[in-house]
Amino acid sequence: MQSIFKLARNMEAKLHALLAEMQELKNKVREMEDENSRLRRELAAVHREGFSCNSTGVETSVSSYSFFNLLELYDQNFHICNLSFGHKRSGECLYCMAFLRKGREPAADQSASG
C-alpha cells in the first residue's frame, strides 16, 4: 500500500515542477510581450518623425534609415507588412515583398528625376 502513496508523492512533485516551469514560461512570454510593445512604440515614433521632418533632406535620410531597418527585420524572417507585422515568417510573404518593392521605387524615381 505504501507504494501508492510514494507514487502519489512522486506525481505531486512532478506537478509542482511542471507548474514552476509553466510559471517561468509565462514570465518569459510577458517579457517578450512588453518588449514587443516597446519596439512597436519606438517604430511608431520613428515613423512619425519621418513624416514630420522638413524638406531639407532629413526626411529622406530618416526614411531610408527606416527602410533599412525594415529590410533587416525581413532578413531576420519577420513580417514587415501591415497584416502580420513583427510575427515570424515561415517563408516568403507577398505582402512584405510588395512593401519592400514599393519602398524602393520612390528612391529610384527621385534619382531619375534629379
Q: Are residues 61 and 110 in the same domain?
A: yes
- Residue 82 is part of which domain span? 57-114
Q: Do both 45 and 63 map to the same domain? A: no
DSSP secondary structure letters along 31-61: HHHHHHHHHHHHHHHHHHHHHHS-TTTHHHH
Q: How far is CA 114 from the centre of its chain?
A: 36
Residues 17 and 63 in one domain: no
C-alpha closest to that of 77 among 66, 92, 89, 86: 89
Same domain assignment for residues 47 and 63: no
Q: pLDDT per residue over 19-54, tens digit each?
A: 999 999 999 999 999 998 888 888 877 776 665 554
- With H, G, I as helix, E, B as strand and everything else as coil, classify residue 78: strand
Domain count, the chain: 2
Q: How confident is the model at residue 104 (pLDDT cuts 50, 70, 90)?
A: low
Q: How far is CA 68 from the centre of its chain?
A: 15
Residues 85 and 34 in one domain: no
Q: Has this prediction a pTM greater than 0.85? A: no
The segment with the largest mean pLDDT, out of 22-26, 41-45, 65-69, 81-85, is 22-26
88 three-class SS = strand
